[in-house]
Each structure stands twice: as structure tokens, then as C-alpha cells.
A and B are shown apart, each in its own frame.
Chain A
Amino acid sequence: MAGPEIVVEANAPEPVYEQIVRQIHDGVNSGRLKPGTPLPTVRQLAGDLALNRNTVARAYKLLEDQGVILTAGRKGTFVRRGATGEVAKVKANRAHSAMRRVVERLMVEGHSREEISDVFARALRATRSKG
């Protein structure tokens, strides 16, 4: 009966609704939340976590827009078929946006494409050696 746990920290810098979204992404990626798994209602999850319903509703709306979950009216909310692919897309898009911001900033500072590519390769090597 027990599903994966979700933990939120009200004082964390990350907004609570993003913590919920991230942990559902993790659940989908790890296979603990399989396609078709029913999720708690907004009311239930908000009550269980002592949160405002709007916070949970915001998280669910974002997940629905990302194609990770599906709300089927009175039947409730479920993990969507193909959610793993959607989570991977969201992750890739986020990474792409982060990299674009870095590249644009380096270009504004006057670095050439070759220099930026070199910096990126060195940074990758450095993180690889740290394990």
C-alpha cells in the first residue's frame, strides 16, 4: 500500500512546489512511480504535508504541462504513459537553458567560440577527475 515518500523543507531556498516537482521527477526516473500509478489528490497531499492547496496545485499544474502526469477528472491524477521520456526532455531542456545562459554571458565578456569550447572541455575534465 505504501508508495514512495516525499519530503519537503519549508525553509529551503528551493520553492516547495519545485521540491514536489523534482521528487516526482525522481520517482518517475527511478521507476518507483510507474506509468498509470495514481497520485494523491491535491487536497490529500496538501493536507498530509500541511501545505496550502495552491502550492500543491501549482506543482501538479507544472507536472501536467510537462506531460509527466495526467488529471482525469473525478478518476484522479495519474503518472502518464511515457512520463520517463518527458522527464528526460525536461531535464535536457533545463540543462540546455543553463548552458545557453553561461555561453551568452561568456560571449558578452568577449570570449570566442573556440575559447568557450576549450573552457567547457577543461571544466568537464576537472569534474571527472573529482569523481
Chain B
Amino acid sequence: MTEWVDFTVYAGLIVALWVVLPAWSARFTLRYVADRNPEWLAAHPEVAAKLTDGRGFRWAYYGWGTVSLAILLAFQMDVLAPMFGSRAPGTPKWEVLKDVNSILLFPGIVLFGASGILFTRWLNTAVPLAARRQATLTRRSIDDFVPRWIQRLTYAFIALVVLAWIATAVLQWPVTSEFWGRLVALAALSMAFEFFARLAVNRPPHVMDRMFGSKFRVSEVRIGFAMHLLPPVVGLVRLYEQVAGTELVDLNRAMHLGVAMLVTAWALRFVMYYAAIGSDRGSKGPSTPIDSAVPAR
């Protein structure tokens, strides 16, 4: 597979995170405030104007996105030599691109994380919680989102793969030194995905649920649950590699690209959802206190 595929995937991630999301961020930011207390936001139009502007914030992200793309392209075109761990002779180019992308992501993530923490602190201290709150008297359980037979099939599949690994060890088939580490990683990842799927079910509703409706949580839980299939599928491939002593597919590369595409899809999902409700609202008008509190652009 040509490294231009890797470049395209990582470039797509850079554009999604540092160009598309920041461009839409002001709309979400206002809604976070309006969701916490729509009356407060309506009474403070100067705050709404300031949050809607946020030019400095956006241009910082655009700048970082442009620099990241330029550096990634320079590595793809062999204008820049590999550095750090990727300097080892024989390092495949896809791994160089992966490492460069990871390094470039880091400052952006730090900036994003810091902005998020500062915004949340400001929100919790400056904007009082609305006196009026509502919820549904419906108990949420994972059965409401994922049919029980699918859950059972998934857990059975995971159990089978783990048992296959254990059987390999018991039968003393020749395996590599990474055998036990990979088994622990398989089990740990499965438990992590279970935790995140249940977290998506049990977390309190937030602004995204109120903006996008029940389908937001439904898709979040179902995607989270579908991720359960990743560890056992990778586990089966790895087990074959352990026993056969060969590499079946370039799994590391595929996993890194898969994660990058998943994160890109996650970032663009918010934008697509928002664009969908935005076009609806044009005909129906504001329907919730949040809509009335958020100034029209």
C-alpha cells in the first residue's frame, strides 16, 4: 500500500481537528453556556458576542493545522529526514509518517485540552446552574440501545478468543515472547471498551443530547459497543501470527490508520449533526430555551 494513503488519512485528521472543528467551535461553545443557563446567556449579550468571536483562538488552530500539514508533506516528499526513533535504518516510511503525525498532534491536543479546562472552569464559576431542570423518568440500560442477543454474541466471541489464547499456552504451542503481553492487552482493551459503552449509557444528558436528540446517545453507545469487536478480531490475527510465526497483515499500520480515521469521523460527526439541526431550525424556528438564548448569526 502506497504511503500516500497514510499521508491522506493523517492529513484528513489534521484538517478535521485543527480547521473544521475550530471553525464550528463558537456555535458549540454558545450552546454549552445556553444549556447551563439560557436566561443568564440572554441577559449577558456581551458574553455571547465575545464567545462568538474567538478569532484569536481559531486562527491559532488554523495556523497549527497549516504548519502540521506542511511538515507532514515535507516528510512524505522526503524533503525532511526522519528524526528521533524513526532514524533507525530500515524504518518503513509509513511508520515515519505515523510518528511525525503523533508528534504534531501533541501541541494541538495540549492547546485544546488547556482551552477546554479553562472554559469549563469559567463556565462553572461564572454561569450559575439554571433553576429549572428536566429529565425523563426512564431508566437507561444498555439493553435499550444494543439488543441482548448481540451483546451475548459479542461477549461469547471475546470469551472464545481469550480461551483460544489460553489454550495455546496450555497446549504449549511455540509462541513469541510477546504472547502474554498481547493477551493482557486484549483483555484490558475489551474491559476498557465495556466500561466506555456503559459510561455512554449512564452518563447524565448534556448539551449534545439536548441539541441532537436521543439519536446522539444511541449512536454513541452503539459505536462504543461495536468497538468491542476490535480486540478479539485483532486478537485472532495476532494469535495466528504467534502460532504460525508469520505476519498475516500489516496490523500495526492498519490499526494506526483505523484509529486516525475513527477520530476524524468522530470530529466530523459533530459538524454533520449540527449542520442537520441548523437546516431544520431554519424552517421551524427556535424550539428550546437554548435556541432562544443563542443569538442568531
B280 to chain A, nearest CB (A): 19
Give the complex CA separation of A18 and B154 in angstroms.
Answer: 43
Q: How large is the interface on A (under 10, 10 to 19, 20 to 34, 35 or more residues)?
A: 20 to 34
The A21-60 residues at the B interface (CB cut-off 8 A) are 24, 27, 33, 38-41, 43-45, 47-51
Given A2-B214, A7-B133, A38-B139, A48 and B205 contact (CB-CB distance below 8 Å): yes
Q: Residue A131 at the B interface, CB < 8 A?
A: no
Q: Which residues on A sit within 8 Å (CB–CB) of B202?
A: 43-44, 47
Give the complex CA separation of A39 and B139 in angstroms.
Answer: 5
Which residues from chain A sit less than 8 Å from chain B, CB to CB?
1-12, 24, 27, 33, 38-41, 43-45, 47-51, 76-77
Q: Which residues on A sit within 8 Å (CB–CB) of B214?
A: 1-2
- Number of residues of chain B lying within 8 A (CB) of chain A: 17
26 residue pairs from A and B, CB less than 8 Å apart: A1-B138, A1-B144, A2-B138, A2-B214, A4-B137, A7-B132, A7-B133, A7-B134, A8-B132, A8-B134, A9-B132, A10-B132, A12-B131, A24-B137, A39-B137, A40-B137, A40-B138, A40-B139, A43-B202, A44-B204, A45-B137, A47-B202, A48-B205, A49-B133, A51-B133, A77-B139
B219 to chain A, nearest CB (A): 14
A3 in contact with B138 (CB, 8 Å)? yes
Give the complex CA separation of A49 and B138 in angstroms.
Answer: 13
